[in-house]
Copies of this chain bind each other. A is one copy, B any other.
């Protein structure tokens, strides 16, 4: 069996064949259940027994990924498949180098000692890119544990269009040179509207329109590439196996959101789901926004606007309450926009990502309070609104999760 069999019944879009890469860069088989293009077992369309196997293969990987090293018998008990089937699947995965035997379990129990196996976590790397910042592109090499192996970045210096694409490939070149293990794939979080096929429909700041970034990077690097919107990518980092619905609001130069509902990312009719930055807040006007409207969420909440306002107030003690009120007001505005969404989706968790010094404090408190006051509290008693724990690296980590999901079916 070769290691580069595309999923049958579907065009093998997005699966590069890696044969032209230097040794050590393998492309494992595409597995069912990836988070973006291809969706988990397409709602319609035929399902063959081999799809079932692909699903079960991912199930084994997922079990190992979340539970850590296990014996074959453990996995059988966990998944409900038989030991025989698990042995067969594991043999396949070991053959592909994705899984390794770790030796015998050491604790003293009756019976034959178990052979522990696990995903070769440090033996594979993922390359992740965050293109969402305004002044630089950031990137990192991660192993499957999420540990950062290497970092790199390039200054943008106002580059746009084709020049910006060049910077992406340069950054990737540098990162790939830093990898010391086979690379499972490349994950990219891009600003703007990104189609499910990794085409950047529109990213004004980078001057990109209908740029087939995923396809081009795939052609250039001969590795599986996944490109998606930065906020949609970020929410994957936060999702991390939690089964419930989740919304992540990413506050930066703009304001965007990523949604996971029913365990699957929401893309929207025009691939523009989560673009809440230019939704008007409230019925009492508000600051003028770059888009021409008044009182857009971005006009209240975007980082440049908040920092400018705080700077204007100065850092004198006398202005402390005015500064706090500025943040509270921004939080209230966020809450006003979130309330209908929380109500309509009956969300249990909303996560905020962005500069901690601005968001984590009065702003967050005001947002929680506002959402509570504006929705039917009894349905949202368990609503949690909190800061992300991933900090600045959330897009990078999410991009890595996207690759894991796409290549291994692990999410």
Please tell me how many copies of the chain the complex holds.
2
A268 proximity list for chain B (CB < 8 A): 245, 345-347, 379
A376 proximity list for chain B (CB < 8 A): 272, 275, 277-279, 291
Instruction: Find residues 369-384 in chain A having any chain B CB closer than 8 Å to their own CB.
Output: 373-376, 379-380, 382
A245 proximity list for chain B (CB < 8 A): 266, 268-269
Q: Mark A257-288, 1 if CB is under 8 A from B, else 0.
A: 10101111011111111111111111110000
Q: Which residue of B lies closest to A9 (CB)?
A: B80
How long is the Cα–Cα vector from A280 to B56 in the complex, in angstroms?
46
Instruction: Find residues 274-309 in chain A having any chain B CB closer than 8 Å to their own CB.
Output: 274-284, 291, 293
Q: Which residue of B lies closest to A346 (CB)?
A: B268
Q: Is A79 interfacial (CB 8 A cutoff)? A: yes
Q: Is the Cβ of A343 less than 8 Å from the Cβ of B276?
A: yes
- Residue from B33, B56, B262, B374 in contact with A261 in the complex, judged by beta carbons closer than 8 Å: B262
A341 proximity list for chain B (CB < 8 A): 340-341, 344
How long is the Cα–Cα vector from A382 to B81 in the complex, in angstroms?
46
Known contacts: A262-B264, A278-B375. The answer to whether A346 contacts B79 by CB under 8 A is: no
Instruction: Find residues 223-279 in chain A having any chain B CB closer than 8 Å to their own CB.
Output: 244-245, 247, 257, 259, 261-264, 266-279
Q: Which residue of B lies closest to A286 (CB)?
A: B283
- Residue from B40, B55, B273, B284 in contact with A344 in the complex, judged by beta carbons closer than 8 Å: B273
Q: Beyond the given A41-B41, A273-B346, A280-B373, please list 20 additional residue pairs across the A-B interface where CB-CB is below 8 A.
A: A33-B43, A40-B43, A44-B62, A45-B79, A46-B55, A49-B52, A52-B52, A245-B268, A259-B344, A266-B345, A267-B346, A268-B345, A268-B346, A268-B379, A269-B382, A272-B346, A272-B376, A273-B344, A275-B376, A283-B283
